[in-house]
Structure 1
Amino acid sequence: MEPQEIREGYLVKKGTVLNSWKAVWVVLSEDAVEFYKKKTDSSPKGMIPLKGATLTSPCQDYGKRTLVFKITTDKKQDHFFQASHVEEREFWVKDIKRAITCIQGGRKFARKSTRRSIRLPETVNLNELYVLMRDQDDGVKELKLEQENRVFNHCFTGVTVIDWLISKEKARNRNEALMLATGLLNEGFLQPAGDLSKEGAESGDQTAFLDDTLALYYFADSGFFCEGYSSDEDTLVKEEFRGNIIKQGCLLKQGHRRKNWKVRKFILRDDPAFMHYYDPTKGDDPLGSIHLRGSVVTAVEFVPDAKKYDVDGNLFEIITSDETHYFLQAATAEERKEWIKAVQAVSKSGK
């Protein structure tokens, strides 16, 4: 009897021989993780057995890469994967943990501690806590804050987070709240915005989160942006990055010149309505953007030159107001439906 497939989709994986990171198609089954060079390949490029394996998340072996998790096999071989956003990583981590636990005969899987050895109560669910913090009415309020000739949008101070955790009875005192906040920071739910908070996050201290009015943070999936001089880059953030993030994830995109297909990370924002795409293996600079105001998006069954590259199924097309055509492929039929619905909503409401 073939093992049941639990989850599949695009992730970025570090090569086991070379140190390069590449987007691969990953399939999680009951007893293994298989990865393919392309979704349409009939045989996997490699297989990771889960019997006796352990999972480390967040994995901080690569400081400049966020949302990384590590699978260590029974033979102590490490495999590193990177997700495109927090929610995607949480889905993969949860399902892989469940698969490992089932193989172990129902024994509880003990998760490896983070680099800073933060020990949180077993009853704490950081994912649920993050959802509460993001609540529009009762969560942590996102503000526009000015500091050292820079304006930070959609952010908040470290003190605000600690105060909120205590006021909502998620922590009994500031020390407990600091442990929770550091856990959220380590997991990638919260991100440091200014120089002070970045220094704290990189310090390696047990409580890397700073209970300080000058330490600024933002939600990982928020519309955060900084205006003015930045220690990271000396440019003004473009208007098109100011919208809230509506949806994000990896899609297969057809190039305009060579017509080849490559995995790209897409981030959909509203007001202004833009869809930016990135090389998922590299940094935060987009390769391009699609202005969605007035655009049309539809599911399609055929794309020119798609068969040549073994691309078939779950295709959709975006036609912009200037009649530029973009052909994309989602991982599943349900994912295609979600992307089409989200893009349609943004194209009508965003400016």
Structure 2
Amino acid sequence: MEPTTIREGYLVKKGTLLNSWKVVWVVLADDAIEFYKKKTDNSPKGMIPLKDAKLTSPCQDFTKRTLVFKVSTAKNQDHFFQASHLEEREVWVKDIKRALTCLQGGKKFARKSTRRSIRLPENVNLSELYVLMKDQDSGVKELKVEKDKRLFNHCFTGNNVIDWLISEGKARNRAEGLMLATGLLNEGFLLPAGDVSKDGAEKGAECVFLDQIEALYYFGHRRKNWKVRKFILRDDPAYIHYYDATKGEDDPLGSIHLRGSVVTAVEYVPDSKRQEVDGNLFEIITSDEVHYYLQAATADERKDWIKAIQSVAKMGK
């Protein structure tokens, strides 16, 4: 029987021989991972057999790279992949884990339904619930939390989510609230922040939401409308400020703190439509894991922006 394709998409992969990271098109089947130079290529650059392989996520082998996971083959060959955002890494890791478990048990890969696995009622609309939770006036309040010498912006605790679901009449009790929150987590509407919530999300085949004050979460960074902005990069302090292109530079619309951030070229933006955004994209991931997607006018311009931002992120004050 032909192997079944489970998941495919662009990831950044470390070269096997050279210490270089390149974007490749990755195809996960039920017995192997194939990777291609381009999506349109007919033959893969390489193949990683999954039988008796091991998965490590998160992978801490690279201090300057986040969102990396490692697949180690039975012959002790290590393959490193980097996702462009947290949600993307989690769905790849979840599917690879399940593929490994199925191979080990001699079973056929079968994708579980989030709704069935946590018994969500059929009339629950997670997208509508997510919109209500994000309402600035009546939704879950985002906080700035310092934990383990790290600062988490725009986050909230697990027990606050359950409290909100009950107070708004979306859940009758904490057990029902946990089911809803787990559904939101599995569908990427909520993302784990910090070690406690990440440990819960990475246990087993399904993500687990934690009703705890120590567990921190973000809203999933869903795509907003694209707008033309004027950007000014500064190294002291290390920020990139953006402005309304039709107005002056006295009042910036916002800023991105670049110290310790990671910037990479990406081929697509999660949840975007191809015809709405295409080409010359890059992503900035800040030190507290907030994601920003930008598009340059040309490939050369994108290369120049990435180089300049990388320099400021490393050397800026």
Shorter-chain-normalised TM-score: which range? Answer: 0.3 to 0.5
TM-score (norm 2): 0.47
TM-score (norm 1): 0.44
